[in-house]
């Protein structure tokens, strides 16, 4: 074997192998030293090239010469604040890594994400592959495949051929209010933040596959889903900025660290539920069923796609809405005047059933202002969601951005821009949505909508999230 290998010739000028030189003469230490030297030389030269490619963008020094700044920011769990500060300090397009920029310019975000854009999802989205072995709509970067997937699910998500979105949410609200009532009866404190997560997880599982997980009914973290997700989320965020880690984690040695359908608890358990549900549904005739999964299948989703999309619904549709409810409730608890104003509006509203309908809620101006302000002050998704500049590059406001650069956006910075929201942008003040001119409100609304992304990649669950917010805030605040 060694004899055969010794016949090989290498092209490196400083390591020309000749037939006279055998591997037997090269010690292991030499080989390791050589490998390290080559790796270091490659690393330094590629870092220098990368540095020069984007040298016209300012940012923290460490971010200009390495990815360490980005790594430590994302790993700290405070990156949403770092990205905001960076855009304030270094300008509206700032550098946060060797190949990474971040912007707080809403017009630029719309330019990158509009339906005709030449930008594409960057490798950031590889980290969104919740099932390590298959893509979902959110992690799909190939635009043809992504559009095809979206079109199979659009009708289900907007409720066009689904009958039961509102009744299902109502039924979960009743269970949730009963749970809160039981704490009130016992006069024991309740962790509202955690119970809200239980609520949104039950709603989304009910909508996704026809039955709530049972978080509210059992008043427990079923399958330790929340605990595991909270533990693993920082790792997921690190993978979004260093996607090559995914390849490493998928290697036979480290694969055991990833969730698997064989797990009894955590995300792996949810994966196995999604698998069973999808398999079951494909055995049935779903032509007449009127729920989301049936709609997806009717529009051509395959069993493997269905499995991944159920998982995506749960991952993308629970913590996001829970964050919006929790942060808005926190603001209401800390601003009694606002809470009382909302209560007065609800008390005088025309509500036909025991739970307000989505239509009725949309007619309450102060409620709508509170919801928008809650989403503005705490946008639930604050990751970079970077898009890749087309190969020929792009010019924005006279500045050239080389092809292949990853450009993310700081939603935290966008929703705090004083030129859009006013000098009191840091304050929770629903009145800003009611007392400004129609043109200003229009500008604010179209900027706020970026919390759900935009155009080609607009959140598919936006309608559902807003229905949930409309209903639950009325129930909890009244």
- Site track for ligand HEM across 168-197, x = CB under 6 A: ------------------------------
Nearest partner of 410 among 127, 95, 122, judged by Cα: 95
Contact assessment for residue 422 and residue 90, using Cβ atoms and an 8 Å cutoff: no
> How many of the other CB atoms lie within 10 Å of CB of 364?
22
Which of 84, 124, 198, 452 binds ligand HEM (CB under 6 A)? It is 452
Query: Is residue 117 at the binding interface for ligand HEM, with CB under 6 A as the rule?
Result: no
**Of residues 64 and 322, the one with the C-beta less far from ligand HEM:** 322
Q: With contacts defined by CB under 6 A, how many residues of the chain interact with ligand HEM?
A: 23
**Of residues 60 and 408, the one with the C-beta less far from ligand HEM:** 408
Tell me if residue 462 falls in helix, strand or coil: helix
Which of 60, 156, 374, 380 binds ligand HEM (CB under 6 A)? It is 380
**Of residues 294 and 465, the one with the C-beta less far from ligand HEM:** 465
Name which of residues 388 to 417 contact ligand HEM (CB under 6 A).
none
Name which of residues 142 to 161 contact ligand HEM (CB under 6 A).
150
Which of 127, 159, 259, 317 binds ligand HEM (CB under 6 A)? It is 317
**Of residues 47 and 463, the one with the C-beta less far from ligand HEM:** 463
Q: Which two tokens stand for residue 327?
A: 């942060």
Contacts of 457 (CB under 8 A, 6+ apart): 113, 121, 385
Which of 342, 453, 474, 476 binds ligand HEM (CB under 6 A)? It is 453
Query: Is residue 381 at the binding interface for ligand HEM, with CB under 6 A as the rule?
Result: yes
Using a 10 angstrom Cβ sphere, with 0-12 exposed, 13-18 middle and 19 or more buried, the burial of residue 350 is exposed
Query: Is residue 355 at the binding interface for ligand HEM, with CB under 6 A as the rule?
Result: no
Shortest gap between Cβ of 423 and ligand HEM (angstroms)?
26
Which of 320, 327, 386, 447 binds ligand HEM (CB under 6 A)? It is 320
Query: Is residue 377 at the binding interface for ligand HEM, with CB under 6 A as the rule?
Result: no
CB under 6 A: which stretch of 20-28, 78-86, 187-195, 460-468 binds ligand HEM? 460-468
Query: Is residue 328 at the binding interface for ligand HEM, with CB under 6 A as the rule?
Result: no
**Of residues 98 and 207, the one with the C-beta less far from ligand HEM:** 207
**Of residues 53 and 150, the one with the C-beta less far from ligand HEM:** 150
Shortest gap between Cβ of 211 and ligand HEM (angstroms)?
16
Binding site for ligand HEM (CB under 6 A): 137-138, 150, 204, 312-313, 316-317, 320-321, 324, 380-381, 385, 451-453, 457, 459-461, 464-465
């Amino acid at each position: 074997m060694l004899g055969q290998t010794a016949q090989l010739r290498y092209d490196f000028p400083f390591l020309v192998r000749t037939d006279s030189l055998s591997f037997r003469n090269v010690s292991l230490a030499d080989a390791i030293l050589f490998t390290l030297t080559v790796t270091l030389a490659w690393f330094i030269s590629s870092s220098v090239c990368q540095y020069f490619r984007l040298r016209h963008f300012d940012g923290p020094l460490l971010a200009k010469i390495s990815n360490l700044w980005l790594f430590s920011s994302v790993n700290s769990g405070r990156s949403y604040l770092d990205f905001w500060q960076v855009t304030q300090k270094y300008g509206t397009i700032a550098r946060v890594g060797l190949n990474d920029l971040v912007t707080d310019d809403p017009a630029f975000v719309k330019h990158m994400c509009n339906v005709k854009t030449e930008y594409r999802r960057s490798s950031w989205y590889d980290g969104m592959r919740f099932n390590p072995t298959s893509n979902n709509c959110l992690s799909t970067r190939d635009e043809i495949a992504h559009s095809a997937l979206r079109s199979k699910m659009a009708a289900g998500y907007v409720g066009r051929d689904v009958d039961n979105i509102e009744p299902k949410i109502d039924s979960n609200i009743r269970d949730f209010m009963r749970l809160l009532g039981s704490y009130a009866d016992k006069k024991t404190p309740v962790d509202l933040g955690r119970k809200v997560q239980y609520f949104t997880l039950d709603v989304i599982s009910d909508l996704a596959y026809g039955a709530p997980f049972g978080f509210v009914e059992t008043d427990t973290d079923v399958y330790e889903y929340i605990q595991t997700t909270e533990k693993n989320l920082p790792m997921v965020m690190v993978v979004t900025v260093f996607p090559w880690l995914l390849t490493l984690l998928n290697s036979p040695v480290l694969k055991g660290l990833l969730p698997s359908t064989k797990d009894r608890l955590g995300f792996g358990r949810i994966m196995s539920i999604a698998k069973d549900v999808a398999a079951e549904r494909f055995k049935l005739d779903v032509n007449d069923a009127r729920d989301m999964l049936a709609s997806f299948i009717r529009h051509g989703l395959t069993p493997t796609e269905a499995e991944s999309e159920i998982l995506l619904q749960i991952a993308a549709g629970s913590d996001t809405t829970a964050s919006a409810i929790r942060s808005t409730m926190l603001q209401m608890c800390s601003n009694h005047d606002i809470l009382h104003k909302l209560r007065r509006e609800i008390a005088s509203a025309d509500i036909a059933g025991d739970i307000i309908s989505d239509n009725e809620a949309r007619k309450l101006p102060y409620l709508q202002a509170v919801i928008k302000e809650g989403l503005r002050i705490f946008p639930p998704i604050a990751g970079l969601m970077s898009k890749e500049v087309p190969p020929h590059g792009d010019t924005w406001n006279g500045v050239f951005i080389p092809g292949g650069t990853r450009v993310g956006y700081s939603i935290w910075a966008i929703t705090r821009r004083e030129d859009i929201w006013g000098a009191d942008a840091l304050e929770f003040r629903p009145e800003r949505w009611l007392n400004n001119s129609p043109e200003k409100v229009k500008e604010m609304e179209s900027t706020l909508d970026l919390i759900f992304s935009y155009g080609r990649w607009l959140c598919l669950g936006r309608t559902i999230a807003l229905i949930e917010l409309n209903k639950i805030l009325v129930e909890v605040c009244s």
